[in-house]
Chain A
Amino acid sequence: MAIYRVHRKLNRGSGKPFILPGIYPALDKVLQPDMLETLIERGYVSVASTPPLAELPIMERHVSVLERMGITTIEQFVDADPKTLYRRLRLKKKDVIELRELLINEYLTLIEDGRGCCR
């Protein structure tokens, strides 16, 4: 899952709420690929860099296992198969889901396609 930083307010038309400046995962699922490319070219959107997992206190006890799995970023963790994660991290499935949600809520802002999220 790519994570994007939106630098300017984006108008999606058709009465949809604006996408406000901030960090968003999966912007490529909300905008058409050519539109996203244009916005990146013009500097209104960039691919965001989030802190490495090793720098996050809540991930401290899992970092070494995750690194052995090749997972060092929030994007990789969010994208990873939950089943593999809870087996390798020796956690319950719900704990992995909670950890994933915590990372998303703490470091990422989800775009809702309905009303009330962005304006």
Chain B
Amino acid sequence: MATTTTAVNACGAKIQLDDKDGALQDISGSSVAGNIELTTKLGDYKVFADGCTYRLACGKDGSISLTIVYTTDDSEGIGILKEWWDADYDDARSIQIDIPTGAGGDDSYTAEVYLESLSIPLTADEASPIMVAAEFKPNGCIDISQIAS
């Protein structure tokens, strides 16, 4: 099989998150890492007749995590997340992650998500900026589409 010529990396990924007004804000400039976990709910069983395990699939699920630089501007990633958890934690918001860059035809992962956890580690002798870990769980499906706008 021919070697691929279409590999991409995540250097230019575009990450957007709803602010309190429900408008997607580009937080790529204050995000350093992310992970999109796509899962299928499986149940397994084994019968007497053979030694194999069989499975049935029942629905899709997933989770999204981001690593955000702790900054002081309210419009950046941590500002939006703090406000969300503090004032609006029980509402789902939209998240959109575009790979590789958010240009026309690029992959787009979108979901309505709840903010499940926000972890802010503090270390006295660490010179690097604080890296905040945010975990999101979708309320519904994580949609995969192509950018067309």
Contact = CB atoms under 8 A, between A and B. Distances in A.
Q: Which of A13, A15, A18, A31 has the most CB of B within 10 A?
A: A13
Given A11-B108, A34-B104, A39-B105, A44 B149 contact: no
Given A12-B148, A35-B148, A18 B105 contact: no
B143 A9 contact: yes
A115 to B, nearest CB: 15
Main secondary structure of the interface of B (DSSP, over half): strand
Interface residues of B, number: 15
Nearest to A27: B148
Interface residues of A, number: 19
B110 interface: yes
B35 interface: no
Contacts of B143: 9, 11, 18
A9 B104 contact: no
Nearest to A20: B145
A31 B146 CA distance: 13
A41 B94 CA distance: 29
Given A35-B104, A44-B105, A9 B144 contact: yes
A39 B145 contact: no
Contacts of B24: 13
B147 interface: yes
A79 to B, nearest CB: 24
Interface string B62-106: 000000000000000000000000000000001010000001110
Interface of A: 8-16, 18-19, 31, 34-35, 38-39, 41-42, 44
Interface of B: 24, 94, 96, 103-105, 108, 110, 143-149
